[in-house]
Amino acid sequence: MTIKQSFGRPATETDTDIAIVGGGLSGTLAACILGRAGYRVTLIDRHRIIPEEFRVEKISGDQVETLQRLRLLGPVSAAAVAFDDVVHMHKGRVLDRTNGRHFGFLYNKLVSALRTALPANVSLIFGQVHGVQTGAARQRIAILGHDEITARLLVLATGMGDLLHRDLGISRRSVAEKRSLAFGFNLRPVGAKSFRHAALTYHGVADGIDHMNLFPVPGGTRANLFVFRDPRDPWIKSLHESPKDTLVTAFPFLSETIGDFEIVGTVDSWLTDVTIADNCQQDGVVLIGDAFQSSCPATEIGVSRLLTDVERLCTVHIPQWMAASAFDRAKIAAYYGDPYKQESDALALQLAALRRDLATNTDLRWRTRRQIHFLRRRAVHAVANLSPALATKLHRLAARYVKSPARSPA
């Protein structure tokens, strides 16, 4: 069904204030915030039980701070394992260590925990949305097996799903020249009760391998590996067929660093094209998270982007819009033009390009930049051993430099 097809009953008022299509991380977070604010919210998702999917599995830094500010860190932490110390390595040598609260989790368990935190004024509907009709004053949503519902505002948190985008005339524009691949798998120590380091980040050496994270999750240890290689590369096949041998070759001294290990279960993978939605400034409908712009997993700021979208929309723009009788495209444009959102979106694109160049570019300029990058980190680590307070100041200055919209993340 497309938006040009007629819907059943006419509606003089809406069934709900805000309908959110997509009950993943972004949609469920938005429903929690809007429900707490007192709005009538309907969250629509295909899955009554969240399937086991390889999505985001770790948060840290500003992501933790934002969830705490939104009063949603409680249900997140209840479904996760907290850890603070991360060892960073490159070519078998310790680069530095970072200290700060991190959380490791399994995506489906996290979203399920957030669903339990939904306020009573949030209705959950499980079903496939197969058509929408949008306008400034009223949105109509057709759901297989259910009566249609009407809402004042429609929020699409559908990830990169294109069915409703197509019905609304929204297209996706590719902005990345190369694809990035992410892999997730479980590790288990051999001959020991635990690994020598609870959390480790091992950086690649410009062979298309960006980095690998090892971190605790409920029930074990998880690895996330990020690469910039063609999906048809024989190396990808070898990773699936002989994951341990492939990892030991790619990351020298890995076994000596964490201890002997084995891979448990299958190797999950996720192929990402960085895209942006076009023609999305429309009456009555707004896109958040990957539905608007997908993120390169290697940058690890996809959740930061998602949280920025959710926070700005739900705590700033929707409260301003709700006093009006209609949600025309001029109001919707204010969300897409929000300076915090635009800065977050731009930074994600810049970091995606930077990570790709650092992982793949082998000319003299980039070889020099990589050497300077890792030498600087070792130098700061040396300072930390002598003066932790000074090292903390340097880390904060570096973080501010990267986040400044006037500067390149390089």
pLDDT per position as a tens digit, 236-294: 999 999 999 999 999 989 999 999 999 999 999 999 889 999 999 999 999 999 999 99
337 vs 1, higher pLDDT: 337
> Is position 245 within any domain?
yes
> Is position 75 within any domain?
no
> Is position 262 within any domain?
yes
The CA distance from 173 to 65, in Å, is: 31
Note whether 50 and 191 are same-domain residues: no
> What's residue 7's pLDDT?
43
- Quick: pLDDT tens for 93-123: 889 888 899 999 999 999 999 999 999 999 9
Is the pLDDT at 313 greater than 80, yes or no?
yes
Single out the residue in 257, 272, 287 at which a domain terminates.
Answer: 272
- Among 37-51, 360-374, 393-407, the minimum mean pLDDT is found in 393-407
Query: Whole-number mean pLDDT of the chain?
Result: 90
The proportion of the chain whose per-residue pLDDT surpasses 90, expressed as a percent, equals 76
> Is position 303 within any domain?
yes
Characterize 361-398 residue by residue with b for buried, 16 or more Cβ atoms within 10 angstroms of its Cβ, and e for exposed: eeeeeeeeebeeebeebeebbeebeeeeeebeeebeee
- Residue 397, C-beta contacts closer than 8 angstroms, at least 6 positions apart: none
CA-wise closest residue to 180 among 284, 277, 298: 298
> What's residue 376's pLDDT?
85
> Is position 73 within any domain?
no
Note whether 267 and 383 are same-domain residues: no
- Give the CB-side neighbour count of residue 376, counting CA atoms within 13 A: 9
> What's residue 391's pLDDT?
62
> What's residue 165's pLDDT?
83
Note whether 281 and 336 are same-domain residues: yes
Note whether 294 and 389 are same-domain residues: no
- Quick: pLDDT tens for 382-409: 777 777 676 667 666 666 555 544 333 3
Q: Which CATH number belongs to the domain containing residue 241 in this structure? A: 3.30.9
Note whether 130 and 37 are same-domain residues: yes
The model carries a pTM of 0.90
> Is position 6 within any domain?
no
Note whether 191 and 329 are same-domain residues: no
Note whether 29 and 111 are same-domain residues: yes
Number of domains in the chain: 3
Q: pLDDT band at residue 50, thresholds of 50, 70 and 90? A: very high
Single out the residue in 351, 374, 390 at which a domain terminates.
Answer: 351
> Is position 192 within any domain?
yes
The CA distance from 95 to 84, in Å, is: 17
Note whether 192 and 153 are same-domain residues: no
The percent helix, strand, coil of the chain (3-state, each to 5) is: 40, 30, 35
Note whether 144 and 38 are same-domain residues: yes
Note whether 282 and 343 are same-domain residues: yes
Q: Which domain holds residue 371?
A: 365-403
Is the pLDDT at 161 greater than 50, yes or no?
yes
Beta bridge partners of 276: 173, 293
The CA distance from 201 to 377, in Å, is: 13
Single out the residue in 250, 272, 294 at which a domain terminates.
Answer: 272
The CA distance from 156 to 44, in Å, is: 10
> Is position 389 within any domain?
yes
Note whether 304 and 370 are same-domain residues: no
> What's residue 4's pLDDT?
37
Note whether 389 and 346 are same-domain residues: no
